[in-house]
Structure 1
């Protein structure tokens, strides 16, 4: 079984998290059956950007990186408190641990910012939210990341993307990297893509 840790910061976007649970869940039931998603957060209850409440399965303090094959990080809104959790040392340390073992790290939109802040993308390629004056791309570049203004950027084990419209494609790319291109195509077809 390929286990994916869905790391949630308070203020995350529910849509960006749901694509990981849906695509990997469809794979578990209808694809090759090899993926399992585990949600983790720094609080007992997390409030999404638009006030949807989520109870993570485990707390960040309980994570053993060796139990997982990949890390998925959805973005969120500053106004909803996303960066309070996402920029905390405990959150950043999980990212560093996944990277140090070469595990896949997939992010959507501003989910790339804690990856950048963790230091693992310094001198590497990445992208993040690209609209509204590209303020978030400038912020990511301040962490030493080479900004590539493409919808999805893959640099070795790290996937970044530039806005919520890329979410489903990131989830499918993660599925492909964890399983196979053929299996990913099958799950896409079963989901109507």
Structure 2
């Protein structure tokens, strides 16, 4: 199983690292067939709080049929997150993953570009729920049935409502790509 971990400009490192660590433990310690390929618009992506990260590949190199899932950490508007998150090239990538029925796992506001792409219209999802839930209102404006719960799954799309949920989203994705039993082994080994 191959997961495309997409690091948009201004992504949150904590939300990103949950996918890296959960899949890393699964692959390294338990030999599960799950690997992560990091991706961005450029090879060097600057996260929220100005941490530069080098990614494995860029968006123009991606062939969706080579991946089993797309994982998207959220980010901060003031660090440029929506400049790339709402870019048509990225929205099209989301649509291609959904059309092929592949898993799409988002943390916090990463649900917003998925909503903007149109694939969540008429489906249940969630996003950042604090500060008067204005991000949830933005998601609702894309025709999404917003549910104020920590993690919401509708068909092949996993959404969540704040950074705290990142490990839960990563474990949920691992469970969908392997099995509940295999996920529990990794979860317990990591102390969750």
The TM-score, its normalising length taken from structure 1, stands at 0.98
Following superposition, which runs of at least 4 residues in structure 1 exceed 3 angstroms of deviation?
none
Report the counterpart of residue 119 of structure 1 in structure 2: 118
Are 1:24 and 2:28 an aligned pair? no
Given that residues 153 and 161 in structure 1 are in contact (C-alpha distance below 8 angstroms), is that contact kept between their aligned partners in structure 2?
A: yes
**Shift, 1:32, TM fit:** 4.0
Report the counterpart of residue 178 of structure 1 in structure 2: 177
- Aligned pairs (5 A) from 1:3-18: 3-18=2-17
Report the counterpart of residue 97 of structure 2 in structure 1: 98
Q: Structure 2: how far apart are the matches of 1:161 and 1:7?
A: 16
Report the counterpart of residue 168 of structure 1 in structure 2: 167
- Aligned pairs (5 A) from 1:9-88: 9-88=8-87
The TM-score, its normalising length taken from structure 2, stands at 0.99
Q: Structure 2: how far apart are the matches of 1:141 and 1:178?
A: 28
- Report the aligned-residue RMSD: 0.7
Gap runs ≥5 in structure 1: none
Given that residues 24 and 175 in structure 1 are in contact (C-alpha distance below 8 angstroms), is that contact kept between their aligned partners in structure 2?
A: yes
Report the counterpart of residue 137 of structure 2 in structure 1: 138
How many pairs were matched up?
192
Matched position secondary structure for 1:92:
helix
Given that residues 32 and 183 in structure 1 are in contact (C-alpha distance below 8 angstroms), is that contact kept between their aligned partners in structure 2?
A: no
Gap runs ≥5 in structure 2: none
Q: Structure 1: how far apart are the matches of 2:43 and 2:24?
A: 23
